[in-house]
Amino acid sequence: MHSYLYLYSEDDDKSIHKLNDLRTTILNNDANDYDTAQVIKKKIVQDYLLRGKAFLLNKNDKLYHLPAKNVREELYTEDSITVAKKEFIYEGLSTITLDEHEVIVIDSGSNGLLVDAGELFQTAINQQSYNKSVMENGALPTGILQATSRLTENAITRLRESWQSLYGGSKAAGKTVILEEGLEFNPLSLKPDELQMVDSQKQIISEIARVFNIPESMINRSANKYNSLQMNNIQYMQHCLGPIITSIESAISKNLLTHDEKIMGFYFRFDTSEILRTTEKEKVETVSKGLKDGLYSFNEARHKLDMKPVDKDYFVMSLGSVLKDSETGELTIPNMGVVEEQSGGENPNE
């Protein structure tokens, strides 16, 4: 799912506005002449998770992905404590030194999962290789062949090759074993369930999900504590995507905003509404409650349900409510048409 980055500003009254800006086109559509922004974002996340850092080249108002495995940071200091200067050595078709102002760094603060969870991934690869071997040789009768007389080396080799040829591979499943005179077959039980292969695979999948901060309920239905798509998406957003999104937003805002824009309260932020999409029933119930509570106007509610606006827009207000001015303490009772002033800022609850 493609999540878009937009530029926002926060005014003195704490209201937030989405701004039209050329930089959002680069971040959401065409990152450069050859790569779309979506492809660049996927590469960023891959490097961020697996290698701990992702690198972008900011050149001529375009963004280019620099594979983390090809980038080396050189740090310079004047006091042996703080970093005075950075350079980036990129080893692509040729070795190039890039200035720190040309490179955007998205840092996870870790060594990356290839280092931190390398043993887990190797175990998973080994298990996949073993499972593949079992599947390829699953039809092969597993056991010991005993001969009443001593066999020569050539005879043993021919017997092994003919046995593999006749009974090896999944297509040979169910074939009847025919033994020559003087041979006896003693089977060995190597069934997947007896080897606990299924349980072992489930455990490894669960561990991999854990290191990626993916909620187990998204890969294991029995682990779903919430009977709600919205709650699952919230868990996924908070624990898995949230840290990644925050790191990307911070790096983009740090490098693409001017000093004056930062002072004015500008910042880049992802629109995560698609990620947090609910079921249709949950969405209608949530919007309806916001409309009844006066949080949304009629047209704002229709917009959230992807419906066209009506001619006149209204807010739904309850006549039984009492409205209090947050600054003056003035009370308004709509169903009585009464306005009361609180003297001396007195708290009516005391």
- Chain centroid, CA 257 distance in Å: 26
Give the burial class of 82: count Cβ atoms within 10 A of its Cβ; 0-12 exposed, 13-18 middle, 19 or more buried.
Answer: exposed
pTM: 0.71
Q: In this predicted model, what pLDDT tens digit does every residue of 169-192 receive, in sequence order?
A: 555 555 555 566 667 766 655 555
Q: Report the percent of the chain where pLDDT is more than 70.
A: 76
Residue at token pair 């039809």: 139
CATH code reported for the domain at 5-113+240-270: 3.40.140.120
Q: ∠ CA(119), CA(121), CA(123), 5° rounding? A: 70
Q: In this predicted model, what pLDDT tens digit does every residue of 285-309 receive, in sequence order?
A: 889 999 888 888 888 888 888 788 8
Segment 239-263 mean pLDDT: 95
Task: Give me the pLDDT at residue 228, please.
Answer: 66
Give the residue among 48, 20, 11, 88 at the shortest CA–CA distance from 249: 48
Return the DSSP state at 216: G
**Distance in angstroms (rounded) separating the CA atoms of residues 142 and 122:** 27
From residue 111, alpha-carbon distances to 49, 75, 117, 143, 243 in Å are 9, 17, 10, 46, 15
- Chain centroid, CA 314 distance in Å: 39
Does residue 104 contact residue 252 with C-beta atoms inside 8 Å?
yes
Task: Give me the pLDDT at residue 28, please.
Answer: 95
Helices and strands, number each (H, E), in the chain: 11, 14
**Distance in angstroms (rounded) separating the CA atoms of residues 125 and 331:** 68
Q: In this predicted model, what pLDDT tens digit does every residue of 142-159 receive, in sequence order?
A: 666 667 777 778 877 877
Higher pLDDT, 96 or 17: 96
Task: Give me the pLDDT at residue 349, please.
Answer: 47
Residue at token pair 């970093």: 83
> What are the start and end residues of each CATH 3.40.140.120 domain in the chain?
5-113+240-270
**Distance in angstroms (rounded) separating the CA atoms of residues 168 and 185:** 16
Coil, strand, or helix at residue 55? strand
Q: In this predicted model, what pLDDT tens digit does every residue of 194-232 receive, in sequence order?
A: 566 778 888 898 899 999 998 887 777 766 666 666 677
Segment 98-109 mean pLDDT: 96
Q: ∠ CA(170), CA(172), CA(174), 5° rounding? A: 105
